[in-house]
Amino acid sequence: MKRLKGARLLRGASIAALCVLSPQTGFAEAGAEETFSLGTIVITGEKLARSLQRTASSVSALDAAAVARENEAGKDSLAKAAEGMANVTTPAAGGQGGAPTIRGQDSEGPNSGATAFFGGTVPRMAVSVDGHYLTYNELVWSSAAIWDVDGIEVFRGPQTVTQGANSIAGAMIVTTKDPSFTREGAVQLQYGSDNRRRVSAVVSGPVATDLAARLSVDYSARDTYISYTNSAFAPGGTEQDFDAKTLRFKLLWQPAGLSGFEAKLSFAHVDTTRPTWEAAMAPYEDLASTVTGNPSWDLRSNATVLDLSHDFGNGVKIVNSLRVADVHTSRITEPVTSGSAENDQDIVSNETRLTFGDEMSTFSGLAGLFLSSTKTDETLNLRGSTVYEDEKRSTGVFTELNYRFAPDWMVTGGLRYQRDAVERRGTSSFTPDVLDYDRTFDAWLPKLALTHDLNDTTSIGAMVSKGYNPGGVTLGFVSKDYVTFAPETVWNYELFGRTKLFDERLDLTGNLFYSRMKDAQRYVTSVIEGGYTDAVTVNADKAESYGLELGFRFAARDDLTLRGNLGLLHTEIVSFENALADYEGHEFGRAPSRTLSLGADWAIRPDVTLAGTVRYTDAYFSDDTNATALLIDAHTVADARVTWTPREDLSLFAYVNNIFDDRSVTNLRALQGTLQGTVVDPRSVGVGLKMTF
């Protein structure tokens, strides 16, 4: 197989980027009489509202209409909604690879699976749902529903300056719909392959003169598509099927007597059940497994967010967001002594920020303070008892100033001081040592960007920023020693371009990036007695990645919209000096060199829309070992959907995901002397209806 070499990738990326950045493109006169426009995308995930045109970060955004289309296509989670975004992949569901990989950075972080239990978690992607940042267990073992969602923004590259720790790979910002002061509601029903069923509903409206409420519920479930063929398979109390329930409730108070003041209370309850892995053994296309057991996970979370804001009416706004959450996670095994576990977390955080101006003001910016505390109690029943207590405390002081020193030039400077204290104590039956880990990490994190508006619809620029993730500890099963690892840092350099062409019917975006990492946190593996895999996290001295992200949306006609994304990526562990492994020169695990998606929405009649997408993912390795046995071949998946809207308040739809029933392997792991592989979800056919009122 030919691997994409760095020099060739960079040459191609540079040429493509120049094409995107140039507003001089052929066929500019075509359809000049058309007035249809795609509109303006506003990005809010970096704490300041600004148009996509003047956002330096590489970001893909789905507005409420786009999220609704994902719901109609049978997509029920954030991971599914992000499919097809450039340089964003989710190789598996649950276990290693069960969280998105962004630009080759596994957002799970280096501590995964058992390593995450014994050493604690250090995820690399911040996922915020209405201000609540998902914990590691929510990210990997739960499902964030996309019903009644107003927008999703996926940022690629370090977001530590605005999001704090655990966002060195990127961030995903999800905003659900707020209460309305007019009565409205909706109900959606779906049924499909693998007994896939989904029921969703929402109701919203005023409950008093200045007070509105919104209640939404979402239930989704399906059967596993894996057949467990071993007669010794003992499910016991484990659950091999999938089940997810989400309830959200919001109150919005806008008192007429307090002009500019707003109070919003948000509550979310999530209850999910799923197996650890949905994986097959060779031949993988048969979707069969001979394992004797597969643990499952039950997760319950309650998150409450109180947002208080005051807009002074002169461009200045102050916001305070208080967040409280509790998360309980159970790992269920058969028998219970083979690895059952409990994890209880209590999270409290508060963010206060002041913003002023907008993207066209001479001066605009923000200043803020973030404080958080996460306490975790963990127990494990495996070869005896393991008990840990974990506490993480974070402080972030951040600021950003935008100065428009000329009508078409703007410079942005940002700075964050981040301090993370990590305490982890406990005992384990796997080592005679008592863990007493107490470390504090801090970092100054700058960002500098320069933006030039070539005209009203075209902007280009450059950005440099620093990202960081705190260090931690892992347990080596072979040595029976606790192994500590240092923080990882990255300097990220980007060139970006945004333009609207053909009377704003064509949107083009592009980001060319280079990231240089120091003390990159990587996990190294070895097979131990019994065929199990031992993994510990260590630091690679140097690592790098570079590549390109391109995106387009084109309203070819008022009844036809085309869209696409291209990601090019090169990753390499440049320097790695460690007695446990030698990965120098290796690619990052789960980092495909190319990702490509193309889609179309065609209103073949005023009341009928036909839509389809095609996604291509290039070959990649399952982990940093780059072992040939763990090489994943390139694969292509096609989806289609048709929606009929006979009345304004009624939609009927049908979808086929994975039309050609491609069963390519997406991730491989060694287990007890054999390989288990997750595959592309097999063909799924479904129907549904949605009623609004």
Please report the pLDDT score of residue 31 as a whole number.
Answer: 38
Contact 585/572 with Cβ under 8 angstroms? yes
Task: Find the domain containing 665 and state its range.
Answer: 6-692
pLDDT digits (tens, 9 = 90+) for 310-331: 999 999 999 999 999 999 999 9
Q: Which amino acid is at 582?
A: D
Please report the pLDDT score of residue 7 as a whole number.
Answer: 43
Please report the pLDDT score of residue 116 as a whole number.
Answer: 86
Contact 613/638 with Cβ under 8 angstroms? yes
Residue 569 has pLDDT above 60, yes or no: yes
Instruction: Tell me, yes or no, whether 550 lies in a domain.
Output: yes
Residue 32 has pLDDT above 50, yes or no: no
Among 3-12, 179-188, 595-604, the least confident range: 3-12
Which of the four pLDDT bands, split at 50, 70 and 90, describes residue 37? Answer: low
3-state secondary structure of 314: coil
C-alpha pair distances (Å), 612 with each of 81, 513, 519, 604, 640 = 14, 30, 42, 13, 4
Looking at residue 43, which CATH number applies to its domain?
2.40.170.20
3-state secondary structure of 531: helix
Q: Which parts of 226-315 are beta strand (E)?
A: 227-228, 242-253, 261-275, 288-289, 296-311
Residue 228 has pLDDT above 90, yes or no: yes
Instruction: State mean pLDDT over 185-191.
Output: 98
The sign one gets for the Cα dihedral 184, 189, 190, 196 is: positive
Instruction: State mean pLDDT over 542-567.
Output: 97
Pairing mode of beta strands 149-156, 684-692: unpaired
Work out the number of other CB atoms within 10 angstroms of the CB of residue 32. 8
3-state secondary structure of 10: helix
- 57 against 532, higher pLDDT: 57
Contact 124/105 with Cβ under 8 angstroms? yes
Instruction: Tell me, yes or no, whether 44 lies in a domain.
Output: yes
Pairing mode of beta strands 170-176, 125-129: parallel
Contact 592/571 with Cβ under 8 angstroms? no
Residue 4 has pLDDT above 70, yes or no: no
Q: How far apart are the first and last CA of the chain?
A: 55
Which of the four pLDDT bands, split at 50, 70 and 90, describes residue 20? Answer: very low
Residue 6 has pLDDT above 50, yes or no: no
Instruction: State mean pLDDT over 127-155.
Output: 94
Please report the pLDDT score of residue 34 as a whole number.
Answer: 44
Nearest Cα residue to 82 out of 57, 107, 55, 54: 107
- Residue in this structure with the two tokens 């127990």, named with its chain if needed: 379
Contact 380/368 with Cβ under 8 angstroms? no
Q: What is the share, in percent, of the chain residues with pLDDT greater than 90?
A: 85
Contact 124/101 with Cβ under 8 angstroms? no
Contact 593/620 with Cβ under 8 angstroms? yes
- 442 against 143, higher pLDDT: 442
For the sheet with 132-133, list strands across it.
Answer: 58-63, 149-156, 170-176, 125-129, 132-133
- 117 against 229, higher pLDDT: 229
Instruction: Tell me, yes or no, whether 563 lies in a domain.
Output: yes
Count Cα neighbours of 443 within 13 Å in the Cβ-side half-sphere: 23
Which of the four pLDDT bands, split at 50, 70 and 90, describes residue 529? Answer: low
Which of the four pLDDT bands, split at 50, 70 and 90, describes residue 295? Answer: very high
Nearest Cα residue to 471 out of 9, 96, 109: 109
Instruction: Tell me, yes or no, whether 137 lies in a domain.
Output: yes
**Mean pLDDT over each residue of the chain, to the nearest integer:** 92
Please report the pLDDT score of residue 121 as a whole number.
Answer: 87
Please report the pLDDT score of residue 673 as a whole number.
Answer: 76
Please report the pLDDT score of residue 531 as a whole number.
Answer: 53
Please report the pLDDT score of residue 33 as a whole number.
Answer: 41
Instruction: Tell me, yes or no, whether 454 lies in a domain.
Output: yes
| Number of structural domains in the chain | 1
Instruction: State mean pLDDT over 668-691.
Output: 93
The span from the CA of 473 to the CA of 408, in Å, is 49
Nearest Cα residue to 368 out of 307, 318, 440, 310: 318
pLDDT digits (tens, 9 = 90+) for 81-116: 999 999 999 998 776 668 899 999 999 998 887 888
Instruction: State mean pLDDT over 529-553.
Output: 87
Instruction: Tell me, yes or no, whether 1 lies in a domain.
Output: no
Q: What is the DSSP string of 57-108?
A: SEEEEEEHHHHHHHHHTT--SHHHHTTT-TTEE---SSSTT-S-EETTEETT
Contact 577/539 with Cβ under 8 angstroms? no
Contact 593/4 with Cβ under 8 angstroms? yes
Contact 596/567 with Cβ under 8 angstroms? yes
pLDDT digits (tens, 9 = 90+) for 362-420: 999 999 999 999 999 999 999 999 999 999 999 999 999 999 999 999 999 999 999 99
pLDDT digits (tens, 9 = 90+) for 624-637: 999 999 999 999 99
Q: HEC profile for 324-336?
A: EEEEEEEEECCCC
Instruction: Tell me, yes or no, whether 353 lies in a domain.
Output: yes
pTM above 0.75?
Answer: yes
